[in-house]
Structure 1
Amino acid sequence: MFDSRYIKTFHEVVRTGSYTAAARSLGYTQPAVSQQMKALERDVGTALFTRVGRGLRLTEAGQALTRHTGAILDSLAAAQQQIDAIARLRSGRVRVCAFPSAGATILPDAMARMAAEHPGIRVELVESEPPDSLRMVARGECDVTLAFSYPGLRVDVPDELEEFKLLEDPLTVLLPTGHPLARRKAVHLADLAHERWIAGCGRCRANFLHACAEEGFTPDVACTTDDNLVMQSLVAAGVGIAMVPSLVLSFLCHAKVTGRIVEPHTRRQVYAYVLRDHLRIPATSLALDAIVAAAEAKVGC
């Protein structure tokens, strides 16, 4: 493996024709240039120059190396420019994984902040629910992941991940606007014991069933879906009602559906996770800061 410093000095010796001229051009001493050329010859395993009178002549190996030094130095310069751009957040890529309601609410604001301050950063979005999303970030398949947990239903977090609490997300019930309880500001879960229900994703469904059991009833689940838009349509059509996190209310698409806080109050916890070592990567740290700021703004709304 060649030392890039030696390649640069070799290139200058060839260009100027002598160690003395190369030293003057590079700001080195002549002995320093001579030592570097001896070290480079040791690395390549053969002589690169021969003395001809008071001048230098390239050996066959030196001529071969000369044909490549320009390309080597150009590649190193291009690599350094790219690294500088990444380090200074002029370019780069970050992969963010989120569950659907976070992807529709927290991430747009976070990405807008990033685009305004660092337009060269590109973001790749992936959708996944915990615990799969936690395994993805632990395996390095994404850089930041947003995940949630419910009281008593915590997910196992791999030891190598750093956890950042984003917000608490109160649970609400989706009701048709004509429902008798839709006139209330909050609805007690026990008052909905005889309703037909639409259940959501696996972890949300487990929390829902647990909450109903705490209130002394087993819900009549008419159907299940992981799709929030489908769930809203089913509620609007009168198929059933649904318990969803409040983040979902920010993208209610049906005028015939309304959301009401559920009592007793239950809140899911929303977190961001990142590999500790990845916190040193500028684009990852930037994305995390933007996500935290966007979540804080949601709490303040």
Structure 2
Amino acid sequence: MVPTESFRDLEIFQSAVREGSFSGAARSLGMTQPAVSLAIARLERQLGTTLFDRQSSGKRQGFVTRTGEVLAAHTSRAIAEMDEATDAITAMEGRRPVRIGLPPIITHHYFPGGLDSLANACGTHPVEILSYGSERMHTELERHGIDVGMIASVEVSLGLPRVRGWKVGSFPFLVALPKASRLADRGSVGIDELEALGLPILSFTGDFVQREALALLLGHDGHELGVAAETDQPEMMRRLVVAGMGVGVATSIAFEKTQKDLCLLPLVGKRPLSFNVFVFDDVARSVRPEAELVCAIKRVLFQAARARREV
């Protein structure tokens, strides 16, 4: 039996599995990489096995050992059970917050003036805003850890059991280049051209749907992508591109405030992809907030989407 004090180590382990590296887990959790390594080492000593192949870090395929895969399956269920128990207890005591998922890029696009409208809709009810990237948000929704919110996907529907989704926007993927780039006068650029020219690719981290799109466009199904650098901040992406560190690949709304500094070209490939935005609510949560509250929050989200379409 895993002691209670080791539960945080399991959460760190799960993040390392999801991110494909200890450094990715550290970024996702706001920790240092040595702290992540120590947590994994504690679990390995306790279980008497090796959970990760350190030589495969960052490659995803082969990074998690066979025993690590077994633990990962059980860890996901354990964390979901703990979340449900916590929700049930806080609901019994009248302090269970509504969990609203809003990825940062989507928030900046649809709520440029702040979240006052959401705060007004929630009134005095406790609120927890989860600003995960859409890929991590998808993982949370798979275990029914979020009540309502917005999420992006490259698919035409969310495809999650008992999670309702309404598509409210669709945006292209772009390549961001320095103004002086030799490709700047092109009408578009293909992913095969980027590979042929050997241009370093800058990407968002694995928490974001942009990384999934890049993997699909490159045709590597999430394995090694040849990414020179990754970030979770659009402003950092802009700085790296302007400094000539590589070309950025992201949805058009990630570059809304940086167009004057960059050359932005549509990214084309064998599989056309779009950054599709959905409003969602989860009808499978074990302890759900009041239906009227969820409806009020969804009205604000739909109004924000409609307002942006009318701009």
Residue among 182, 186, 189 paired with 1:187: 189
Equivalent in the alignment of 1:173: 175
Equivalent in the alignment of 1:276: 283
1:136-151 paired onto structure 2 within 5 Å = 136=140, 141-151=145-155
Residue among 228, 240, 248 paired with 1:222: 228
Measure, in 2, the Cα distance between the counterparts of 1:189 and 1:260. Answer: 11
Equivalent in the alignment of 2:75: none
Equivalent in the alignment of 2:130: 126
Q: 1:273 to 1:237 in 2, by over 3 A?
A: same
Show CA shifts across 1:229-267 (max 9, x none). 222211111000011011112232x85323222235521
SS of the counterpart of 1:181?
Answer: coil
Residue among 209, 212, 233 paired with 1:206: 212
Please tell me whether Structure 1 or Structure 2 has the larger radius of gyration of its CA atoms. Answer: 1
What is the TM-score of this pair, normalised by structure 1? 0.56
Q: 1:140 to 1:205 in 2, by over 3 A?
A: closer
Matched, 1:104 2:111: no
Equivalent in the alignment of 1:266: 273
Q: Is the 8 A contact 1:109 1:294 kept in 2?
A: no
Q: Determine what percentage of the aligned residue pairs are the same residue.
A: 19
Shift of 1:228: 2.2
Q: How big is the alpha-carbon RMSD for the aligned residues of Structure 1 and Structure 2?
A: 3.5
Q: Is the 8 A contact 1:150 1:269 kept in 2?
A: yes
Letter in 1 for 2:102: A
Matched, 1:245 2:255: no
Letter in 1 for 2:234: N
Equivalent in the alignment of 1:295: 305
SS of the counterpart of 1:178?
Answer: coil
Unaligned 5+ segments in structure 1 are 1-92
Q: Greater helix percent: which structure?
A: 1
What is the TM-score of this pair, normalised by structure 2? 0.54
Show CA shifts across 1:192-249 (max 9, x none). 33111112232422321321349xxx96421222332222211111000011011112
Q: Greater strand percent: which structure?
A: 1
Once the two structures are overlaid, the 10-residue window that deviates more, 171-180 or 117-126, is: 117-126
